Amino acid sequence: MNEHRAAPRGDTPDAVALWASARVTELVGDQQQPVPAYGTRAWQQLDSNAPQKAAAVITAAELWRRYGDEDALLTWFKEASAPHAPIAERKTLAELEALAKPRPPRPVQAAEGWPPVAIPGRPGWYRCLRDGRQTDVQKRQAAA
């Protein structure tokens, strides 16, 4: 079963994060050489059995588990930090209330190639398109 779970919040210890941290520490320990980001040119140039290479993989997996797709996260940060329109350019309360009022209903129209449309307020009556004209018919005639 492959399910994505976010890291626990608050004071709850995160066993997966603790395991990942312990493995990375075990791999690189006190080495002064930095761990390159997974998939970068520096990572690709490491020997296949280099401990930094494995540490980068574990670090990338842990970041994905906690935060998901990096590109999606960066997009969210850009949108969240985008400047908003000045208050003077925003719609007034009256404008917003006018936009919120319901619009008048559109007239019922039948369309070419579609079945007849029930006419609201007239039970048993349908509007259909015959010879290019909107025609109202009773239910027994609608199928014709």
Structure tokens at 110: 């039948």
pLDDT of residue 2: 43
Distance between CA atoms of 22 and 78, rounded to whole angstroms? 33
Taking residues 12-17, report their average pLDDT: 84
Dihedral over Cα of 92, 94, 100, 102: its sign: negative
Task: Give the pTM.
Answer: 0.44
Q: How many residues does the chain have?
A: 144
pLDDT digits (tens, 9 = 90+) for 60-88: 999 888 888 778 888 888 888 988 888 88
Distance between CA atoms of 72 and 141, rounded to whole angstroms? 55
